[in-house]
Structure 1
Amino acid sequence: MEHVSSRPGSAGTRISPLLSAALLSLGVFGDALPAFAEEERISRPGARPFQGPPLNPIGTAAPVHAEGADTEHIFGFTMGSDIGRVGEIELEMENVAAFGKRDGRYGTLATLNQVKYTVSDRFRIAPGFALGAQRIDGVAGFDDRHHVSFNGATLEFRAKLIERATAPFGLTLHAQPGWNRVDDGSGLRVEQYGAEFAALFDKELVEDRWFAAFNIWYGTGTTRTHATGITAHDSEFALHGAVSYQVKPGLLVGVGTRYLRSYDGGGLDRLVGEAVYVGPTFSYSLTSTLGLSGTWQFQVVGRAVGDSRWLDLDNHERQQAMLRINAHF
């Protein structure tokens, strides 16, 4: 089943795969100018209040760290625990592309558009709708298709349980029910209902420089295919991990990895395949209110049940990429 959200790592397009976090080695860059750091701290959602740069013994401003980062979108497919400031409205467009099967030409694009509203320090709600497109030619098990469609709708809830600034790590719980009328992976007309659930952990390893995140995802759903009338149940379990380094205020780079297990049956009943993806991530603040982030990941290990060939290309793709645009108000 193709899950209801556009994110491979969620139940609605496929909960995506993890875990074997790799370290990204980068050189040490100079600290940002105090004035720029102040502007960025004030404008970035989730940043700690700016207290002014420390003073050296003769009363002049000493060097400061890069600005605090909102961790939600700095890890690619992996999600941080931040949910934004109280009363903040965020518009987000998340585009997920998947490429490559065993044969033929295969490419899909799933776009999730959301309006996120932070109700309180601990809770956020985000309704959304999904669009999709497929270009499939000569792939075994798929109809040839060049297709663009309105796919469905979702409603996301996030509850922050542990605040990273006052505890050893941050923790937010995620739930997202949804409905699809088109299967993201094949373009077939379906009636699909599902939900995804996740625990999102993150930690600031080195103040304003190194960040890490770890996610546990579970998705389940029911799909009825219009052409055949057949109803199927499936589910997925995934682990995500990532590290990210802030090169300068507003620019972070890193690496993410995901481990995905796909099942027949809504309760993780019968394993059908598993895959591990790894790839680079980035996050860049174009302005104080507009951000761009993404990742490009490759399946490096995988196996479909009953198939001795390398990689699981029955249930997953060779490559998955994501580009996200978000604006805060």
Structure 2
Amino acid sequence: MVLQFEAACGRRKKSILGVALSILALGSMLPVSADAGDAPSWLSTASASSTSAAVRAVKPRAELLDAQAQHDGVDTEHIFGFSMGSDIGKKGEIELEIENVGRFNRRAGSYTGVGVLSQVKFVLTDNFRVAPGISFASTRVSGVPDMIDNRRTAVAGASLEFRYKVLDRDVMPFGLTLHAAPAWNRFDELTGFDVQTYGSEFAALMDKELIRNTLFATVNVWYSGGASRDLSNAWSRDSEFSVNGAMSYKVGPDLILGAEARYLRAYDGLGLDRFVGDAVYLGPTFSMHLAHNVGLSGTWSTQVAGRAINDPRRLDLTNFERHQAMLRLNYLF
């Protein structure tokens, strides 16, 4: 501005008095042009840094608290294996999930059962999500006592999952989400034969961040029950109750490892009426990002304790399998 001022003075040949008046006018403008955030280029780097620090220092306390309360970036839903965290995603998100569950080994013979559930998840609000799904199943049975040899693969049925987040773990002592999933099946995943099954499952999913952005824990309580009609039109009813616990540790920006324990009880009757057996499963878990919008998670669980009613032998291999495994792929649109 000084150079422009001098050039203007030369061109217009202003008087000394005019020059003085111009200088006074320029001086009166300087405080306005030196406001914070619009510092002249001739200020030193140190002065600019000091100004920036001063601006940061006067931020409202509420704004700083909001910044500290931001989500840690870990979606806890699928970092615990079969167990699940309370996160459901953000409003407006659409996610494709393909979950593969394998069941292996009975007391004798050869047994393999694989179920595949494909879901599309729609997060309607920050607290509510709905997910329609279709399932496929494959069963291989050979030489298993009290089971008919069979090899079958087919479309199994359909389900509709609902989840409602009651407590947000970012602002409450722990997270809590309620889960319900009514389903219809035309294929018995246990035996591989045709059957009409109408049932549902319900769960309370709780989790907590023990060490910020590093260590996470979850506790789940599950109930499932259904009524089935076989080809002879005979009806049967059964139910299952389980309590799951797991912990997961973030070992890197894209990898989380952990361990899971599950206790399952099987019953005849929809209301947990007649106890028929129980099982305890233990296994490692993992969750990883293959890309910013693609996740892979899974677990391998082994039955380490349990007993079927009226069977003195160790483990319940009548109502449950020796091993259960899960591999899940998620794609966020």
| TM-score category, normalised to shorter length | 0.7 to 0.9
Root-mean-square deviation (CA), in Å?
A: 1.5
Shift of 1:220: 1.2
Q: Is the 8 A contact 1:109 1:134 kept in 2?
A: yes
Q: Which one-letter code corresponds to 1:250 in the other structure?
A: D
CA distance in 2, matches of 1:152, 1:258: 26
1:191 counterpart (193, 196, 216): 196
Q: Which residue of 1 aligns with 2:330?
A: 326
CA distance in 2, matches of 1:68, 1:151: 35
Deviates more, 1:138-147 or 1:171-180: 138-147
Q: Deviations over 1:256-313 (max 9, x none)?
A: 0100000000000000000000000000000010000000000000100110000000
Q: Which one-letter code corresponds to 2:274 in the other structure?
A: R
Mapping of residues 236-247 of structure 1, within 5 Å: 236-247=240-251
Q: Which residue of 1 aligns with 2:166?
A: 161
Q: Which residue of 2 aligns with 1:282?
A: 286
Matched, 1:273 2:277: yes
CA distance in 1, matches of 2:222, 2:183: 16
SS state at 2:77 partner: coil
Q: Which residue of 2 aligns with 1:174?
A: 179
Question: Which structure has the higher relative contact order (CA within 8 Å, separation 6+)?
Answer: 1
Identity over aligned residues, as a percent?
54
Structure showing greater Rg: 2
Matched, 1:293 2:297: yes
2:77 counterpart (62, 72, 76): 72
Q: Is the 8 A contact 1:170 1:203 kept in 2?
A: yes
Q: Which residue of 1 aligns with 2:45?
A: none
Q: Which residue of 2 aligns with 1:139?
A: 144
Q: Which one-letter code corresponds to 2:269 in the other structure?
A: G
Q: Which one-letter code corresponds to 2:305 in the other structure?
A: V
Q: Which one-letter code corresponds to 1:304 in the other structure?
A: A
Matched, 1:126 2:131: yes
Gaps of 5+ in 2: 1-65
Shift of 1:130: 0.4
1:207 counterpart (185, 209, 212): 212
Q: Which one-letter code corresponds to 2:178 in the other structure?
A: L
Matched, 1:88 2:93: yes
SS state at 2:271 partner: coil
Q: Which one-letter code corresponds to 1:291 in the other structure?
A: G
Q: Deviations over 1:2-36 (max 9, x none)?
A: xxxxxxxxxxxxxxxxxxxxxxxxxxxxxxxxxxx
Deviates more, 1:254-263 or 1:228-237: 228-237
Q: Which one-letter code corresponds to 1:246 in the other structure?
A: K
CA distance in 1, matches of 2:113, 2:180: 25
Q: Which one-letter code corresponds to 1:279 in the other structure?
A: G
CA distance in 2, matches of 1:211, 1:80: 9
How many residues of Structure 1 are paired with residues of Structure 2 in the alignment?
267
Matched, 1:259 2:263: yes
Q: Is the 8 A contact 2:280 2:303 kept in 1?
A: yes
Q: Which one-letter code corresponds to 2:145 in the other structure?
A: A
SS state at 2:86 partner: coil
Shift of 1:51: 5.7
CA distance in 2, matches of 1:279, 1:67: 26
Shift of 1:67: 5.5
Distance 1:221 1:316, change over 3 A: same
1:117 counterpart (111, 122, 128): 122
* Structure having the larger proportion of residues in helix: 2
SS state at 1:72 partner: helix
Q: Is the 8 A contact 2:72 2:212 kept in 1?
A: no
SS state at 2:170 partner: helix
Q: Deviations over 1:32-62 (max 9, x none)?
A: xxxxxxxxxxxxxxxxxx969xxxxxxxxxx
Q: Which residue of 2 aligns with 1:230?
A: 234
Q: Is the 8 A contact 1:127 1:156 kept in 2?
A: yes
Q: Is the 8 A contact 1:67 1:249 kept in 2?
A: no
Q: Deviations over 1:194-239 (max 9, x none)?
A: 000000000000001000000000111100111x321011111100
CA distance in 2, matches of 1:176, 1:259: 21
TM-score by length of 2: 0.78
Q: Which one-letter code corresponds to 1:164 in the other structure?
A: R
Shift of 1:68: 2.5
SS state at 1:312 partner: coil
CA distance in 2, matches of 1:258, 1:155: 24
Point out 4+ residue stretches in structure 1 off by more than 4 angstroms: none
Q: Is the 8 A contact 1:281 1:295 kept in 2?
A: yes
